[in-house]
Amino acid sequence: MCTKAVLEPRQCFKLEEQAPDFCLPAYYRGKEIEVCLKDFREKWLLLFFYSGDFTFV
């Protein structure tokens, strides 16, 4: 899967401001899937971005 999420550049978000929806490739149960922020609406979610350590190189 060779997709990239592209968002308009912003400096920061304000407290209680809704985050823009985005979709990214994810590795889940042995295969790559696409995960979107909207899939977790009304649920607790921790976003963890760490490029490099979890890549498939």
Mean pLDDT of residues grouped by 10 in the chain (57 residues)? 50 76 89 93 82 62
Question: Helix, strand, or coil here: 39?
Answer: helix
Distances (CA, A) of 11 to 7, 14, 15, 43: 12, 10, 13, 25
pLDDT value of residue 43: 92
Cα–Cα distance measured from residue 57 to residue 52, given in angstroms and rounded to the nearest whole number = 9
The pTM of this model reads 0.52
Note whether 46 and 37 are within 8 A (CB): no
- Reported as type and span, the H/E element at residue 36 is strand 31-36
